[in-house]
Structure 1
Amino acid sequence: MRSTDAAGGELIAPGLVPITSLGGGELFEVWSAFDERLYAPVVVKVLRPERDDAAGRAAVEHEADLLSRLHHPGLVRLFSADVDAHRPHLVLENIDGPTLSSLVSRFGPLEPHQLLPLGLELASALHYLHGEGVVHLDVKASNVVMGAPARLIDLSIAMDVKRAAELDHAIGSDEYMAPEQCEPGARGSVGPASDVWALGVTLFRAAAGFRPFDREPLWAQLHDEPHPLPERVPAPMAEIIGDCLAVDPERRPLPVEVAERLEPMLGALPAARLAGFSLRR
């Protein structure tokens, strides 16, 4: 199971055998790996060598501390972390399923029987996070793994609500950032409502197959109205998405309110049938 691509073919750390590169971002490399202690496949986030300094190791420790105290079916699980290793890393649950972004790119927008549970599951995860005093700040289609349930991953820029409210610089992924994330202070304070905006963008993409705002110019959401949703998107779902994309953070619904509006829509879906037999009793 040894990979010749990782660290010159070496183990990531004792007992962690790299299998396949999953990419990563500016701070981390992400690998599919085999954990010989767990004797199971895992995902490992490894601090990039060029970012291995005090700030980089503090970021690893920060994410490990957050994940170690957060426990929810809609969040990725942390199995272990080693900030002091030769290659500081996090060992995370390997979730079986594609990301929402790859699913939509390959097969197009989701049907209601996929879209409604997705919205409910993401709202559930955000309700829990915010109840724990944490904002994710990077909710987006590529950070949603379509498992059962859907899982929200990558808490690398998540932070406590108080710290988020004090931000004075832009943070997040450009097309998914709430106006106040683009211009903290001038557009309001960054906080839980910022995650609700990103939830709206994520559900828009899932429902439409494209984003509500163009990538260019940068931060089009500061001056453009969102693109209209296709007519096939049910009106109640379109209203929820539109409310999440309210410019004023105070006008956006709470995650629990999103969930409460989605539940009857989900309950009204036709019962699934297989070979003439109803799957609903």
Structure 2
Amino acid sequence: MLIAGRYRLRDAIGRGEMGEVWRAYDETLGRPVAVKLLLPHDSDPTAPSRFRLEAQTAGRLSHRHVVGVLDFGEHGDRLFLVMELVDGDSLARALAVSGPLPAERVARIAAQAAAGLAAAPPAGHRAPRH
């Protein structure tokens, strides 16, 4: 499937409550990307506005431990968010395969996550650029 005339969806790589994430290819710029599509939410009329807020909030962040937002739009009746594609396994998969991680690795992951979260502004403020 081609989204917005340029993002070719390849493989589904994740699914959550609000959306599904696809490994995709940006045919205009010739690079791999991740595309998150809002799932149909007939029973939740607030889903599109929450998804739009997620895109706007994430789009203002710039930090090496935060996935960058590249584009946002609507394709047909579904909103989409285009992000940098980060290769590798999820933390859930790493835990399922190898069990508990060494304390040093847990500390490194936690520090990186905390640094990324610290880049997010308080509600109603603009994010600093790093």
What CA distance in whole angstroms lies between the structure 1 residues aligned with 2:20 and 2:8? Answer: 14
What is the one-letter code of the residue matched to 2:27?
E
1:73 CA displacement: 1.0
- Aligned match of 1:34: 25
Is residue 42–residue 94 contact of structure 1 (8 Å, CA) maintained in 2? yes
Letter in 1 for 2:11: T
Matches within 5 A, 1:45-84: 45-51=36-42, 55-82=46-73, 84=74
Given the superposition, is the C-alpha separation of residues 60 and 52 from structure 1 closer, same or farther in structure 2, using an over 3 Å criterion?
A: farther
Q: Tell me, yes or no, if the aligned pair for 2:11 and 2:24 is still in contact at 8 Å.
A: yes
Identity %: 31
In 1, the alpha carbon distance for the partners of 2:42 and 2:19 equals: 8
* TM-score using structure 1 length: 0.40
- Partner SS state of residue 88, structure 1: strand
1:20 to 11, 29, 45: 11
Q: Which amino acid aligns with 1:94?
A: L
Q: Does the aligned pair in 2 maintain the 1:18–1:33 contact within 8 Å?
A: yes
1:90 CA displacement: 0.2
- Which digits, 9 at most, give the CA deviation of each residue in 1:238-270, with x for residues without a partner? xxxxxxxxxxxxxxxxxxxxxxxxxxxxxxxxx
Partner of residue 102, structure 1: 93
Give yes or no for contact 1:27–1:51 (8 Å, CA) kept in 2. Answer: no
SS, match of residue 2 in structure 2:
coil
Cα distance in 2, alignment partners of residues 13 and 52 from structure 1: 26
- Which residue pairs with 2:81 in the alignment? 90
Q: Which amino acid aligns with 2:19?
A: F
| Cα shift readout 1:76-127 (whole Å, capped 9, x = no counterpart) | 1100000x43131000110021111110110122224422321221221222
Equivalent position to 1:126, from 107, 113, 117:
117
How do 1:238-277 and structure 2 match up within 5 A? none
| Aligned match of 1:176 | none
* Larger strand share, 1 or 2: 2
Q: How does 1:118-267 map to 2 (within 5 A)?
A: 118-129=109-120, 132-133=121-122, 160=123
Segments of structure 2 that go 5 or more residues without pairing to the other structure are: 125-130
Letter in 1 for 2:34: V
TM-score (norm 2): 0.81
Aligned to 2:128: none
Q: Which has the higher contact order (CA 8 A, sep 6+)?
A: 2
Alpha carbons of structure 1 residues 26 and 88: separation in structure 2 relative to 1, 3 Å: same
Cα offset for 1:36? 0.9
Indicate the RMSD between aligned Cα atoms, in angstroms: 2.2
Secondary structure of the residue that 1:81 maps to in structure 2? strand
Q: Which residue of 2 aligns with 1:164?
A: none
Mapped partners of 1:52, 1:39: distance in 2: 37
Residues matched between the structures, number: 123
In structure 2, what is the equivalent of residue 115 of structure 1? 106
Question: By percentage of residues, which structure has more helix?
Answer: 1
Larger CA Rg, structure 1 vs 2: 1
> In structure 2, how many angstroms separate the alpha carbons of the residues matched to 1:97 and 1:62?
27
